Amino acid sequence: MHYISTRGTLADQSFSQILLGGLAPDGGLYLPAEYPQVTPAELDTWRTLSYADLAYEILKKFATDIPDADLHALAHKTYTAEVYRNVRSGEDASRITPLRLVEENGGTKLMLQALSNGPTLAFKDMAMQLLGNLFEYALACQHAELNIFGATSGDTGSAAEYAMRGKKGIRVFMLSPHKKMSAFQTAQMFSLQDPNIFNLAVDGVFDDCQDMVKAVSNDLEFKKKHKIGTVNSINWARVVAQVIYYFRGYLSATTSNEQKVSFTVPSGNFGNICAGHIARMMGLPIDKLVVATNENDVLDEFFRTGIYRVRKSAETYHTTSPSMDISKASNFERFVYDLVGRDGARVRALFAKVETQGGFDLSGKPGSDGDEFAKVPQFGFVSGKSTHADRVATIRDLYQKHDLMIDTHTADGVKVAREHLTPGVTMIVLETALPAKFNETIREALGRDAERPAGFENIEDLPQRFEVMSTDIDKMKAFIAAHTGL
């Protein structure tokens, strides 16, 4: 398996060669030269596997340069009931991502896939725990160090820090938008006192943080000198780890490969649903991939109109599903690459236009940049939008009808999923976090606090350690340089 850049100017690379990096040197994102295919016979065999064994089977299709025994050990070290222990009442921890039937109407099921049983109570743990173990393995093989530079709108940061804390040879520099995460999310990150963790609160929005990560990644000399890597979803290994739970969800919801399912995914940066796109391209029988946005509806606009229009910082709303307060979806480029026929030069031109003119238009209308929007249905994508009033109403509705408490982002997913049900096709909504992480809105919707797993009872009261930074790239580089010892 070899990897190429979405912008078409990079020689083939192996999985291990791209593992510790983020952007390709030409500014593009890594993708396999060809997607590995999964046969019906393999799906049948995989139905009875544990999550760790399923992870191994999928990973070895992508990480062909890592010895099988090592890959098997990494999968089994990562996906254990001890790591993913924050299960809801009645769920089986050994399943890692158990399904829960929410409602059924005339044979059409709406289900929730629990992805938030890990140490930071968010779906990001599903990939980040694996990434931490992969990084440690690769660094040990190379006798090397790594300085992770990432950005978070809420959950990526804590998942990365909990996965990397205490890892030999790894430091984490994590940017987050100052005062724009929930109190729980903020405390979960800033209360960490590990000397290899650096929390940097940026005066701006998430997109400003993400732009800074890309700017540093594009400075190839600085990146090489200071051994910079990334854990954001631009990192290919993180996307691969997310592919696994689409297979698990499908196999758990069906009894035959003749059946199809749909997935609804709360989405801001397009990383989570991009993994679903890859699973579908591998041959997983997925009907629809439903993109659920909040008020920051850049992706919904594209999947309705073919126009990708990035919003400026001042136009980005601060909402009650803050992890989706994103107006420039960094993983979207991977899908666009497939949409335009894997034409790297075309992708390079389109995303150059994003930087200079704020977007592009593939609607096919006079004056547009192309007509590929007409091909979107071939990839199964549809979309919808949810507002604060929608998510509060959905949280209340599920609690009253089903005694089920969900977080704000998952509520956005359920609201949009209900709009895209197909008779006879199971719809799986990917859970994004436990409701305790967004207690302010839970109280508004239900008049009570969300339950907290053991160990998180008073997290907001813990001492916090962080630095407030501007969006000045040079000052950020100086901070990194001063704390890497390189």
List residues with catalytic annotation: 124
The rounded distance, in Å, linking the Cα atoms of 433 and 233 is 17
Handedness of CA 417, 389, 318, 125 (dihedral sign): negative
Q: 5 - beta bridge partners?
A: 30
Please report the DSSP string for 241-277 in residue order.
Answer: HHHHHHHHHHHHH-SSTT--EEEEEE-SSSHHHHHHH
The rounded distance, in Å, linking the Cα atoms of 472 and 70 is 41
**Residue written as token pair 């069906």:** 254
The two beta strands, 30-32 and 3-5, are: antiparallel
Helix (H, G, I), strand (E, B) or coil at 430: strand
The closest alpha carbon to 414, from 182, 102, 90, 91, belongs to 102
Question: How many other C-beta atoms are found inside a 10 Å radius of the C-beta of residue 422?
Answer: 12
**Residue written as token pair 């809105």:** 441
The closest alpha carbon to 385, from 455, 304, 313, belongs to 304
The burial of 438, by beta-carbon neighbours within 10 Å (0-12 exposed, 13-18 middle, 19 or more buried), is given as buried
Between 439-446 and 388-402, two packed helices, what is the crossing angle to 10 degrees? 70
Structure tokens at 269: 């940066």
